[in-house]
Amino acid sequence: MIILGLGCNIGDRLSNLRDALARIHLISELKVNQVSPVYESDALLPENAPESWNQPYLNIALSLSTKLKPEQLLTKIKTIEEEMGRVTSLRWAPRIMDIDILAWGDEHCHADKLKIPHLSLTERPFALWPLADLVPTWKYCAPNKAETGKTAKELIKKFGSRFDGKALFHTRQIAHRVDTPIMMGILNLTPDSFSDGGQFNNFAEAIKQTEVLFDAGADIIDIGAESTRPTSKYVTPDEEWSRLRSILETWLLLWNGRSSKPKLSVDTRKPEIVEKLLSYPIDFFNDVGGLTDPKMQDVIKDSKAKVIFMHSLGIPPSADRVLAYDVDAVSQVYQWGERQLENLTKIGINKERLIFDVGIGFGKVAEQSLEIIKRISQFRGLGVPISVGHSRKSFLSQFTSKNFAQRDLETAAISGFLATQQVDYLRVHNVDQNMRLLKVNAALCNSN
């Protein structure tokens, strides 16, 4: 049982941790067995450190199995740090990635460049808590220490609660994870959306909801100002922009300068809106029109944001425009995605920017939507990240008679399945319930 500790306090910390985890997975001589929850903590700093160093860390632990020797593994993880851009000239300086070997079973090592268990492990809740989440029965094994022989579960008792931030370095577990699909929280500014229409028309409530979604574990907030439900009314570009503009201005005031903040996605199918947004720091554009509008394609090329393009047979969806019943639904959607990817890359949109949404409920009857979800892993063959927006939708009527707003339980159950299929993005209304389910599922499904 080998435990690595990973920490980062520069740039997009969650993305950096995901990047490091992906690189560790690529080491052929080892297997990652478990991934801990994420903990945030203050930076550990020397006296008179520059104020710019005072940036909080995100931390995780991994359990591994490997035939590598400790020194060999150390070389590989230090290579990953260097490849990610870590500069080692100044001790305690901010780090884009810091990877340590925290424990190696019951082995003890005290070499010049490698000390196992990590010398300060028992005094650092940001390292010991993640370790204890993975292997609570691990026993501290450094000789001549008062803690020797005590389990990780016993050692963490002095730190109190994982969640209240009262431990040393204000360490606390946060809702985000790096081993589950990236969660996209939905914020509808519309009066007529199918499950939350009118709920966030109020400016203050909408801004508050961005914080609620982020604190619950959303990496991305997807803001939409036009409903795409069946029978919804067309919203003019001017009206859509009037709904978006004030929210975006306040978003910048609220989140700019924070060490932890969500990425911003705008859900729109209008090139006029995207053109206005080019001067804003938009991370994602979410086009339910599938990037089929030539004007949208042209304006998207001027952006550096990632783009979600969704399969549909018309917006808003209609019961008389659905996939053919006598042809496999997965094949129809896959082939459309394949053709559209070819079209978009030919006109100069980099494939690395593109994310494919299979369009659950758009141009598909309930049975077809469910079949696509069951076989979602087949879409990985497209070679781009996959996004699924299944939250509260009508296809869930196969399982419940609850109204749309009361379908979060069914939504979360499907999210749990999609996580096992390596889906990259999940777009949901109730981020809290979905993340709580994914956290438990991750603990149960991780191999030992």
Burial tier of 434 (Cβ tally within 10 Å: 0-12, 13-18, 19+):
buried
Catalytic choice (13, 86, 172, 427): 86
Is the torsion defined by CA of 38, 44, 49, 51 positive or negative? Answer: positive
Provide the 10 A C-beta neighbour count for residue 23. Answer: 18
Q: Cα separation of 350 and 383, whole Å?
A: 13
Which amino acid is it at 137? T
| Angstrom distances, CA of residue 186 to CA of 218, 286, 379, 391 | 9, 11, 23, 9
| Angstrom distances, CA of residue 215 to CA of 173, 182, 242, 331 | 11, 14, 27, 38
Catalytic choice (13, 23, 95, 162): 95
Dihedral over alpha carbons 419, 420, 424, 426 (to 10 degrees): -20
Specify whether 243 is catalytic: no
Specify whether 229 is catalytic: no
Coil, strand, or helix at residue 446? coil
Specify whether 164 is catalytic: no
Specify whether 95 is catalytic: yes
φ and ψ of 172, to 5 deg: -150, 150
Tokens 């494919």: give the residue: 356
Tokens standing for residue 45:
């700093």
Q: Cα separation of 447 and 34, whole Å?
A: 6
Catalytic choice (19, 23, 98, 172): 98
| Angstrom distances, CA of residue 29 to CA of 69, 72, 192 | 10, 10, 54
Provide the strand spans (E) within 39-86: 39-41, 57-66
Q: Cα separation of 5 and 87, whole Å?
A: 18
Catalytic choice (19, 100, 267, 432): 100
The b-or-e profile of 39-77 (16+ CB within 10 A means b, else e) is bbbbbeeeeeeeeeeebbbbbbbbbbebeeebeebbebb
Provide the 10 A C-beta neighbour count for residue 221. Answer: 25
Q: Cα separation of 448 and 446, whole Å?
A: 7
Q: Cα separation of 425 and 418, whole Å?
A: 9
Residues tagged active-site: 86, 95, 98, 100
